[in-house]
Structure 1
Amino acid sequence: MAKTNFQYEKRQRELEKKRKAEEKARKKQEAKQHKGEGEGDAPALDEDSGEEAQQEHDPA
């Protein structure tokens, strides 16, 4: 029976994590650019959970 190449599998997992991190960073950068263009009417969403981000208001 052939042995499993664990190094190959680990490298593939690492590459997938890197790709996902780059994709997330790219989306975050695009969102930041669009927000600066005046699309501030939509509520901010928490990217990890897809829910509205909790914004604290300081009653001063």
Structure 2
Amino acid sequence: MLLLRRAPRYAPAPDLLFDNRGVHSSYFHFIANELVIYQAFTQQKDHFDFIDALLN
């Protein structure tokens, strides 16, 4: 019997990754959100202010 490892919880399910439109839209939303967060972080003059804004 072949035991398969479970995919990480944050990854889209394999059967949802590809559909009639190609790559599933939730994957694009995940990447877009990561890019927005990265862009907002790199544009800060003081990164500690950005972290404080996230925590408070």
TM-score over 0.5 (shorter chain): no
Larger radius of gyration: 1
TM-score normalised by structure 2 residue count: 0.42
| Bigger fraction of residues in strand | 2
If asked which structure has higher relative contact order (CA below 8 Å, sep 6+), I would say 2
